[in-house]
């Protein structure tokens, strides 16, 4: 499933979400229109490593409008020295927006984003955290 954000295509692998496609599309559209949506779906992340699952699980708990550093997310995931590895998990996130990797930032900047920093800035501004 593909959505347009800040002029770019954002792909979400809906096969990992145990919800009806129509609900996912509706929720993501509402979110992109500025509505606060809780993407509390049941996910199937069995194909990922335990480390990736734990990082993505901790990332899902980052609240709308909140930003967390890569180092802080590493601590929250139970891997306090793995901030670079956490960045790699963010970069490979199969469910951007649903698992809010855009809320993970560098200590002194917004950090990178697989979909482009302009998309990350757009999402952070939309949530009021930039």
- Structure confidence by residue, pLDDT tens digits, 80-117: 999 999 999 999 999 999 999 999 999 899 998 999 99
Architecture of the CATH domain 2-126? Orthogonal Bundle (1.10)
- Is 90 one of the annotated active-site residues of the chain? no
| 95 phi, psi to nearest 5 deg | -130, 60
- Catalytic position from the list 68, 101, 115, 123: 101
State pLDDT tens for residues 13-33: 999 999 899 999 999 999 999
Can you give the residue ranges of every domain in the chain? 2-126
Task: Determine contact, residues 8/119, Cβ cutoff 8 Å.
Answer: yes
């Amino acid at each position: 499933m593909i959505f347009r954000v800040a002029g770019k295509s954002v792909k979400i692998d809906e096969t990992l979400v145990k919800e009806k496609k129509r609900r996912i599309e509706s929720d993501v559209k509402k979110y992109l229109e500025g509505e606060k949506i809780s993407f509390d779906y049941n996910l199937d992340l069995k194909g990922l490593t335990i480390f990736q699952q734990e990082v993505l699980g901790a990332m899902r708990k980052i609240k709308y409008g909140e930003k967390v550093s890569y180092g802080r997310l590493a601590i929250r995931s139970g891997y306090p020295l793995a901030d670079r590895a956490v960045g790699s998990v963010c970069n490979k996130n199969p469910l951007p927006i649903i698992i809010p990797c855009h809320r993970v930032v560098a200590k002194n900047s917004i950090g990178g984003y697989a979909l482009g920093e302009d998309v990350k800035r757009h999402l952070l501004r939309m949530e009021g955290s930039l």
